[in-house]
Amino acid sequence: MKRYVLPLSMLAIFEAVAITMWLTQDNIFYLFNFSYIGISISLGILLFIKQYRYARRVAQLLVGLYMLVYLGFICGENMQIEGFWYYLFTGVFEAATIHYAVAKIFGPLIFGRGWCGFACWTAMVLDFLPFKVPQTPRRKLGWLRYLTFAMSFIFVSAVFLAQVGSLEKIMFWAFIIGNVVYYAVGIILAFLFRDNRAFCTYICPITIFLKPMSYFSLLRVQCDKSKCISCGKCKKVCPMEVDVTDNSRKRKNGTECILCFTCARNCPTNSL
Ligand code: SF4
Ligand code: SF4
Ligand code: SF4
């Protein structure tokens, strides 16, 4: 029963958010939305526990496609960071603002960067590329994320200040074009650096929120030193080059852990 605590806890957290949002916003959509995401993520974790090889992919596709295709393309909600700024500026607490608050700002205090491992629609595609672990040394390009973060903020501010009409339409097209650019840059970088997650490591503006918040994450992979035989397998298979054998919060690349559990699956002594 102990092994099912994690998926059940995730489901409980999302159901609590779903019911709270439904009742406070008087909108049953939130009950459906957060229940669906919670069930999808919990199912992914459950399948992982059952040692299904593609467990994480199942969750990524279920959540990622729902957000990209249904919320983004069909409902016309800009769920990217530009959408977050947009709804923040208009003072509307819905769609992207709620999504960011739950998945990317306050949620990571509980489940770290679980969003990046189990739900992100950008990584959903990038994870299909052939470079599961970085095959070239890491570059000092982390500053690029501040640039993309600033660019997204400046873009939405400029659109607001210019007082152009049909803002909704602009934000919809910004979502389409933004995603095309993200996928193109992500795929090019993956092949250039031989690293599927190069986009996440250097470019993604959302890491400005994710990294500091996940530093304090309640849920994190820990190493049982009494069982560890220092074989180094966990570091070899980690897509984010995290030194997971170091239990301190300051461990190398610790705020980049996407909770994919690849290290735990490959540990020969079940130390993780
Ligand atoms: S770092 Fe950005 S692109 Fe990568 S998985 Fe996380 S949110 Fe998605
Ligand atoms: S794979 Fe397991 S045993 Fe090997 S170094 Fe990592 S934690 Fe230790
Ligand atoms: S392999 Fe382990 S340490 Fe690396 S990102 Fe996945 S869960 Fe985190």
Measured CA to CA, the distance from residue 242 to residue 153 in angstroms comes to 30
- What ligand is nearest to the CA atom of residue 178? 1
Q: Are the CB atoms for 124 and 64 separated by under 8 Å?
A: yes
Whole-model pTM: value is 0.92
Q: Please tell me the distance between residue 265's alpha carbon and the centre of ligand 3 in angstroms.
A: 10
Measured CA to CA, the distance from residue 119 to residue 14 in angstroms comes to 14
List of domains in the chain: 62-215 (no CATH), 223-272 (3.30.70)
Q: Which residues contact 47 (CB under 8 A, 6 or more apart)?
A: 54, 55, 58
- 175-193 per-position pLDDT tens digit: 999 999 999 999 999 999 9
Residue nearest atom 2 of ligand 3, based on CA coordinates: 263
- What ligand is nearest to the CA atom of residue 133? 3
Q: Please tell me the distance between residue 229's alpha carbon and the centre of ligand 1 in angstroms.
A: 32
- 96-143 per-position pLDDT tens digit: 888 888 889 999 999 999 999 999 999 999 999 999 999 999 999 999
Residue nearest atom 4 of ligand 3, based on CA coordinates: 238
Mutate to test the pocket of ligand 1, among 199, 255, 257 (most ligand atoms within 8 A of CB): 199
Q: Which residues contact 128 (CB under 8 A, 6 or more apart)?
A: none
Instruction: Look over the chain and give the mean of its residue pLDDT values, rounded to a whole number.
Output: 93
